[in-house]
Structure 1
Amino acid sequence: MKQRITFIQRVDAGFDPQQAVLTASSLSVRGLDAAREDRITVGLDELPEEFRAVLEQSHELHLRWASERSFDAVAPFSSRVSPGLHVHYTPLESDSSSEALCTLLRKVVAPNKDAQYKDCSKQEVFYDHSFPFEGTTWLCSACVRSDPETAVQNSFITPPLRSTQFASSASLQYYTYLPSIQSLVRYIQTTVWDHSRADGPECHTRADALLSADSVDIDYDSISHALTVSGLWTSPPTGGWTDQFQKPESAADQIEFGLLGADAGLEPEEIKMGGLLAVVGHDKKLKPTMFSFPSRHQPLTEPSTYTVSFAPPTGLHPTMSISMPRSSLRRPPAPSDATCALHTYLTLPSTIFGDQYQLATTDTLFLESNNLVALRALAGEMDLEAPDWVVQRWGSNWLLELATPRETEDATTTPDPSNWTATIPLHLRYLPPSETGHRTAHIPWPVVFWACTAEDDTKMGVNPFDRTNLGWDSLFGPRTLFYQLQPAGDRLVEEVDVPVLRLEGGDGYFRGKYIEFGTCIVISLGFLWVLWRLACVAWSSGVGNKRTKGVHDKKE
């Protein structure tokens, strides 16, 4: 087992050497004001049989969980995903069953009965080699074929891939609203840690600490044959970080420690870091270090925020509004010859969806009125008529390019204090009935970011803090630079009230039995009216024929 504990301090943050003390058997920190990332790497032989069986059937498996609490991402951990649990999965064999993964997800997610949750079931994967790709402007309007022998028949969706042979993202994707990872932590404690040689009270304590993390990542690939679990805390607890790390008992285990600060590099695509490093139980003192590396995920030099809301009353056709201060929409510090565009990536559960024909329009009036440029990619459930209980898969993803205001301000112009708002029309599905006549749809905030093309000679290799398989990053070229806007809100999930059919036992005239009885009456009256109209037509035709015959006989 290998552990890496990294503290990231602000450049202007003060530091006392007594706040990090290294001895021959331990390292202790006290009152550190810093962001923190804990990363643990475990070999397959250290995992329980149940978990190992899932990984041995996987070419790659990536879990991304983000809290619905608002937090400020810091460099080099500036990348984001929408709140909830994201699963990116590629089976080892295209025709292999993933029932073991579904069983594992059911234990990890453990949804309550009121959650809009699409259960995991057996998958059947196909690869469409005829899918076109041109740059970053493309659509996936039919990622699932209608042939039942080749379609993905479970809750996973197939994300649009630029190349199925050299894909940079997993072939299957899943999402569910998960406000807490308590079930995941319990599974790690009772299954993973209890099987590991490092099991003990300290391991259970560190697993409990994940409950307060802002994001948690779990990664596995068949090349490394190792499982990596990462937790990120973007702000310290009250009083700062105070902790102690003991030398591992086994020589095969290792704890790496880093106390670093991040700053802009010499090149626009670089991040420069410096600070202290040590291997607990191996090094005798903390070693100073300084290094830089190109990074796809870059911080913005000025505060840039956005908020998300739904204009009331939402009804069954809510409109998502993404509001940003105009000061947040200044061009990012990318190379001067780079082309930058503002994007938003929506993760919509099955309860809500967009109209692909409406959003993919080239109608200038519609796009300008909503401050949109174009729909760049989509995948998932696109049926415009299906109710939620008919939809099998978890939902859909949408990548849209947003319009930005024209840069007319100069140093002598007073900044415009108003917000710039982009609106996205959406639609709610019919949900199952309830006793109250209402259900709540949980809609996570989308991520908003700048995507800038980098120079052809830019080396964008994997850096020690790189984060991939986010869903939206694979929709761009490998040399793209991303600049994230920070969501400004207490909670990054919107709750939309959806009217539904009221079950038996409720009050009012919209109970199920009343609607059923009324429907039968309306259908019966309609049927009688049709019969009456047919009888009238038949009677009128008969009388008309008789009159015509009488007139004809009289003329003769």
Structure 2
Amino acid sequence: MKQRITYVVKNPEAFTPEQLVVKDDGTKFTLQRVHAAKEHRITLGLDELPRELSRVFQQWHEFHIRWASSTAYTATPPFTSRVSPGLHIFFTPLKSTPEDALCSQLHDLLSTDLKCSSNASAIKLPVLSERFSMSASSQYFDYLESPVKVIDDFQQKFCKVENEVCGNLTKQLLTAAYVDIDYDTISRAVVLTAAWPDAQGNEGWSEDIELPKKDSTVEIGVLSHEPNSDPEDVQFGGFLTVLGQDSAPKPARFQTPTRHYPLIQSSSSTTATPKLHPLTYTTSFSQPTGLHPTLILSLPKEHLAPPNPSCKLHTHLTLPSYLFIDKYQFNDALFLQSKNLKRLRSIAGATDLEAPDWVINQWGSAALFELAHPPPSTEQKDTASASWNVSIPLHLRYLPASPSSHARVPVPWPVVFWACRADEGAKMAANPFDRVHLGYEALFGPRTRFMHVEPSGQGNGTRQLVEWIDVPVLDTTKTGWVEAGTVGTVLVAFLGLCWVLFGKVGGGQKVVEKGKKKQ
């Protein structure tokens, strides 16, 4: 088992090396009140996993899980890549993989209510660049607000009482901003990665990290983001230690290219700590939503300028099956211009325009839009308080009947980013912190770097990155009147039809018979 724990200090001026201590001949590492973002990565071989879990992973050629919390947070480089809140699964089955393998595993681990019947419930991923980063063939999504049930079940089944590392880690996962699990048949290793934007509470991280076994490896880095002259690289300086080998943290500095990069304020200082750009976005729906809601992305005009001329603004939407996009709407240039859109670059998944939700087999759809942005303005007064609104028309499917007149459904916020051309795209694979298999990288070429726009309100930790829509549905508590009215209408219509057919025909025959007698 290998572990890599990385802390990225948020305020280097307030950090001192005395907050780091190595004890017990280099087998124990202690942090004291360190304010930092944290990433914990564990690499396990299949033979180190419980047999039941090992069999689950061996059913797939590739299997990648991405869970993201709906609570807003401030991203700290290099942990800047994002996906929409919820559970994303990217996978490629083997030829021998059972058709119901994915759904049976999800129903056992999560809930039997998940919209999943077979591997066909997933959507096929469109890929522009096979060479780039996305080799998984299919994607599954469900809005999973919290992984509490999964973590509790895992802890009860697989964490033994004497294994404190497993128990402590599973408890910490409940507060993580995102959790990734990766497996592929080439490495035959399972990699668990979890990230936290900051420690719980206001006192920072105070932790004791011990070497679990003599043959295990624990690498620990306490770093800070440093200024760098190369706009395509990130540079970090700090202290590194390997438990069992180092008696004291060693100073270190390294520079690496990165695929996912935050928007950083321009600065003339070569020594100042980089600061995030003030550009943020909010997501909302026009009210009332009705059955044709319009998703609105709002960005401040004063900060909405491309980082460089090659950058284009994009948003990636992950839509559950009860929402869909009419792709034919976006063929009209005037319509796109009125919505501040440039084009619909990609759409995959359930796009049937007429089908109700209960006949859709797939989990939903994913769409990538290129957004328009305002030209630079010389009048500061006009842009200082104005917002640039992008409108994306959506459509709701008819939902199954329920005991109430409305059903409340979640819509996760989309991801917004600048896609820019990179000069050294091929070298970015060397970055040890970049995440792949996010659902949208393979829609771009290999020389693309993503500069992510932060959601608004990320600093206070209270904003939720999900919108809720009240959808009108058939109220089963009031369907008695509908049934009685339908039966009554049918009965009256039947009696009326009988009177027309038989009453008038009988009367006509009598008139004819009387005429014959007179003659």
Give the TM-score normalised by the residue count of structure 1: 0.82
Q: Call closer, same or farther: CA 1:109–1:462 in 2, change over 3 Å.
A: farther
Give the Cα separation in 1 of the matches to 2:81 and 2:497.
Answer: 62
- Corresponding residue to 2:485 among 502, 514, 518: 518
Q: Call closer, same or farther: CA 1:226–1:250 in 2, change over 3 Å.
A: same
Which residue in the other structure is 1:188 paired with? Answer: 154
Give the Cα separation in 2 of the matches to 1:259 and 1:340.
Answer: 32
SS in 1 for 2:125: coil
- Corresponding residue to 1:86 among 82, 88, 105: 88
Fraction of identical pairs, as percent: 44
Which residue in the other structure is 2:280 paired with? Answer: 305
The alpha carbon displacement at 1:487 in A equals 1.0
- Corresponding residue to 1:501 among 461, 474, 478: 474
Deviations 1:46-78 (A, max 9, x none): 112222112112111110000011111111010
The alpha carbon displacement at 1:457 in A equals 7.1
Q: Call closer, same or farther: CA 1:5–1:403 in 2, change over 3 Å.
A: same
Deviations 1:375-416 (A, max 9, x none): 000101011111111111110001011110011237x77743
Q: Which runs of 5+ in 1 are unaligned?
A: 124-151, 536-556
Give the Cα separation in 2 of the matches to 1:403 and 1:532.
Answer: 66
The alpha carbon displacement at 1:161 in A equals 2.0
Q: Call closer, same or farther: CA 1:304–1:402 in 2, change over 3 Å.
A: same
Give the Cα separation in 2 of the matches to 1:421 and 1:438.
Answer: 28
Which residue in the other structure is 1:270 paired with? Answer: 233
Give the Cα separation in 2 of the matches to 1:66 and 1:443.
Answer: 14
Deviations 1:7-61 (A, max 9, x none): 0012544112221101213110010000011111111001122221121121111
SS in 1 for 2:373: coil
Q: Call closer, same or farther: CA 1:308–1:165 in 2, change over 3 Å.
A: closer
SS in 2 for 1:255: strand
SS in 2 for 1:211: helix
Give the Cα separation in 2 of the matches to 1:530 and 1:232.
Answer: 71
SS in 1 for 2:123: coil
The alpha carbon displacement at 1:233 in A equals 0.4
Q: Which runs of 5+ in 2 are unaligned?
A: 265-276, 458-462, 503-519
- Corresponding residue to 1:156 among 122, 125, 150: 122
Which residue in the other structure is 2:512 paired with? Answer: none
Which residue in the other structure is 1:444 paired with? Answer: 412
Instruction: Say whether the 8 Å CA contact 1:11–1:263 is kept in structure 2.
Output: no
The letter for the 2-side match of 1:369 is: S
SS in 2 for 1:161: coil
Which residue in the other structure is 2:33 paired with? Answer: 31
SS in 1 for 2:358: coil
Deviations 1:79-124 (A, max 9, x none): 000000000001133x63253433222233226x6xxx302x333x
SS in 2 for 1:517: helix
- Corresponding residue to 2:118 among 118, 122, 135: 122
Q: 1:240 and 2:240 equivalent?
A: no
Q: Call closer, same or farther: CA 1:523–1:487 in 2, change over 3 Å.
A: farther
Q: Call closer, same or farther: CA 1:264–1:529 in 2, change over 3 Å.
A: farther
- Corresponding residue to 2:438 among 470, 487, 492: 470
Alpha-carbon RMSD across the aligned residues, in angstroms, is 2.5
Which residue in the other structure is 1:356 paired with? Answer: 327
- Corresponding residue to 2:55 among 53, 56, 67: 53
The letter for the 1-side match of 2:484 is: F
Q: Call closer, same or farther: CA 1:354–1:526 in 2, change over 3 Å.
A: farther
Give the Cα separation in 2 of the matches to 1:414 and 1:502.
Answer: 49
Q: Call closer, same or farther: CA 1:474–1:52 in 2, change over 3 Å.
A: same
Give the Cα separation in 2 of the matches to 1:11 and 1:204.
Answer: 31
Which residue in the other structure is 1:65 paired with? Answer: 67
Give the Cα separation in 2 of the matches to 1:275 and 1:162.
Answer: 38
Instruction: Say whether the 8 Å CA contact 1:296–1:479 is kept in structure 2.
Output: no
Give the Cα separation in 2 of the matches to 1:339 and 1:450.
Answer: 9
SS in 2 for 1:398: strand
Give the Cα separation in 1 of the matches to 2:375 and 2:100.
Answer: 52
SS in 1 for 2:318: strand
Q: Call closer, same or farther: CA 1:530–1:231 in 2, change over 3 Å.
A: farther
SS in 1 for 2:263: coil
**Equivalent residues in 2 for 1:242-261, closer than 5 Å:** 242-251=206-215, 253-261=216-224
Give the Cα separation in 1 of the matches to 2:501 and 2:294.
Answer: 46
Instruction: Say whether the 8 Å CA contact 1:258–1:277 is kept in structure 2.
Output: yes
Give the Cα separation in 2 of the matches to 1:80 and 1:435.
Answer: 37
Which residue in the other structure is 1:407 paired with? Answer: 376
The letter for the 2-side match of 1:71 is: Y
The letter for the 1-side match of 2:37 is: A
The letter for the 2-side match of 1:342 is: L
Q: 1:314 and 2:289 equivalent?
A: yes
Q: Call closer, same or farther: CA 1:48–1:418 in 2, change over 3 Å.
A: same
SS in 2 for 1:474: helix
SS in 2 for 1:268: coil
Instruction: Say whether the 8 Å CA contact 2:129–2:444 is kept in structure 1.
Output: no
Which residue in the other structure is 2:110 paired with? Answer: 109
SS in 2 for 1:4: strand
SS in 2 for 1:461: helix
Higher alpha-carbon deviation: 100-109 or 386-395: 100-109
Q: Call closer, same or farther: CA 1:284–1:500 in 2, change over 3 Å.
A: same
Higher alpha-carbon deviation: 174-183 or 481-490: 481-490
SS in 1 for 2:167: helix
The alpha carbon displacement at 1:193 in A equals 3.3
Instruction: Say whether the 8 Å CA contact 1:353–1:426 is kept in structure 2.
Output: yes
Q: 1:375 and 2:344 equivalent?
A: yes
Give the Cα separation in 2 of the matches to 1:528 and 1:392.
Answer: 43
Give the Cα separation in 2 of the matches to 1:75 and 1:385.
Answer: 44
SS in 2 for 1:389: helix
Q: Call closer, same or farther: CA 1:98–1:20 in 2, change over 3 Å.
A: farther
Instruction: Say whether the 8 Å CA contact 2:425–2:448 is kept in structure 1.
Output: no
**Equivalent residues in 2 for 1:207-226, closer than 5 Å:** 207-226=170-189
Give the Cα separation in 1 of the matches to 2:372 and 2:236.
Answer: 34
Give the Cα separation in 1 of the matches to 2:302 and 2:252.
Answer: 36
The alpha carbon displacement at 1:191 in A equals 3.6
SS in 2 for 1:18: helix
Give the TM-score normalised by the residue count of structure 2: 0.87
Instruction: Say whether the 8 Å CA contact 1:339–1:453 is kept in structure 2.
Output: yes
Instruction: Say whether the 8 Å CA contact 1:298–1:483 is kept in structure 2.
Output: yes
Which residue in the other structure is 2:510 paired with? Answer: none
Q: 1:454 and 2:422 equivalent?
A: yes
Deviations 1:278-304 (A, max 9, x none): 011211111111111111111101122
Q: Call closer, same or farther: CA 1:525–1:264 in 2, change over 3 Å.
A: farther
Instruction: Say whether the 8 Å CA contact 2:142–2:363 is kept in structure 1.
Output: yes
Give the Cα separation in 2 of the matches to 1:413 and 1:282.
Answer: 60
The alpha carbon displacement at 1:533 in A equals 11
SS in 2 for 1:460: helix
Q: Call closer, same or farther: CA 1:243–1:166 in 2, change over 3 Å.
A: closer
Which residue in the other structure is 2:306 paired with? Answer: 331
Instruction: Say whether the 8 Å CA contact 1:409–1:415 is kept in structure 2.
Output: no
The alpha carbon displacement at 1:528 in A equals 8.7
Q: 1:40 and 2:8 equivalent?
A: no
Q: Call closer, same or farther: CA 1:224–1:187 in 2, change over 3 Å.
A: farther
